[in-house]
Amino acid sequence: MKKITVVELFAGVGGFRLGLERANKNAFDFVFVNQWEPNEKMQHAFNCYVNNFGNENAINENIVDAKNKIPNNPDLIVGGFPCQDYSVAATNAKGIEGKKGVLWWEISWIIENKNPRFLLLENVDRLLKSPSSLRGRDFAIMLIRLHKLGYNAEWQVINAADYGMVQRRRRIFIFIWKQSESKYKKSIFEKHFKSTPKIEPVEFDLIDEYPNEIDASNNYKKGKFLNKGTFINGIVRMYDYNPVFNGKKKILNDVLLENFDKKYFLSNEQIEKMKYLKGKKSIERIRPNGEKYFYTEGSMSFYDDINKQARTIITSETSMNRSTHIIKVKNKYRFITPIEAERINGFPDNWTETIASEKKRYFCMGNALVIEIIERLAKSIIDLF
């Protein structure tokens, strides 16, 4: 079989590549890899990538400048395009109008000018309902653009834990193919991410209602997109679904280290701070117009249940944050280690060990994806060639 040529965008520490190569290391030829973190002197993720995969065809430049170097007609483009402007963990989320969100238009340029056969993209599930003032508008604009470029798409929001993986991490995966593609007849999600509809599918002609991106930008009123759907020749068909999985589910305890450095234990001061952060609270605040209101948060468990699947890894693990993981060890409490963060995402131990700062190691894992999702999808993609 001829190798599948791959362009990897926004590569991070290499999660997409690791997943693809686990499915079949000999099936893929990475002809272009790009990773660039703006406003960072040290390119930690890129250096980690090169340490694990080598620097062949790897470019550490802003994609705005590097995109012209992408070879024409790649078989597959993959990438988790930056999600800071979409994530519910960030404030003032702005969707594709955000600082990093505009990189969608770089992807659009690459599709138009480099002519890929397929694409597999990943983002936070908030994309389907962004921005908050016009829910669904941003995804509608993306679909309309794809249609104009001659492509169809399907998507599924996947919570890795629903399909047996150790982490409760919800992300949207979007598979894109040419409208002229004859081999794509069966969803890549169908084999490894089975589901049943919760509701009758919603169907409408997006292009008939919004012929172009500007029209959607100014007038979109259809509301958010649902968790699973297709966009074929301008027609949206979508529904929310129930996952179907009958295998064994991994739990947090499966990936915890028996031996770890004592530095990961919380001090008494940190314990008290965390109890406050994770506790129930109602705080009086004042709006810019002088109006008073109460900011409220419900309580959450102080430490994580190791007999359940892990919560979502965050970029600021070990910081004083209510979402930080805490493990109870007898009568003490500790943070998760960098190796455990790697395991929760499915990376090999010490994948990020060349990154000198542990905070940056956690940051990279908080931005990474769950490897096994890509591995499973890759098996279906290989069948297309």
- Please compute, for residue 28, the number of CA atoms within 13 A of its CA located in the half-sphere on the CB side: 26
Identify the CA nearest to 57 among candidates 23, 17, 26.
17
CA–CA separation, 345 vs 93, rounded Å?
A: 25
Which DSSP string corresponds to 326-340? Answer: EEEETTEEEEPPHHH
83 part of the active site: yes
CA–CA separation, 252 vs 249, rounded Å?
A: 10
The backbone torsions φ and ψ at residue 194, rounded to the nearest 5 degrees and listed phi first, read -65, 155
CA–CA separation, 97 vs 353, rounded Å?
A: 35
CA–CA separation, 380 vs 118, rounded Å?
A: 12
Residue 362 CB burial class (10 angstroms; 0-12, 13-18, ≥19): buried
Q: Among positive and negative, which fits the CA dihedral 50, 53, 59, 62?
A: negative
Q: Which residues contact 372 (CB under 8 A, 6 or more apart)?
A: 19, 160, 165, 346
Identify the CA nearest to 305 among candidates 282, 327, 276, 288.
327
First to last CA, the chain: 8
Active-site choice (20, 58, 83, 364)? 83
Reading the block at residue 238, the tokens are 């979508």
Q: H or E element: which one contains 193?
A: none
- What distances in angstroms separate CA 336 from CA 188, 324, 326, one per listed residue? 34, 9, 7
Reading the block at residue 32, the tokens are 């272009």
The backbone torsions φ and ψ at residue 157, rounded to the nearest 5 degrees and listed phi first, read -80, 120
Q: Which residues contact 216 (CB under 8 A, 6 or more apart)?
A: 137, 140, 141, 144, 210
- As annotated, the active-site residues are 83
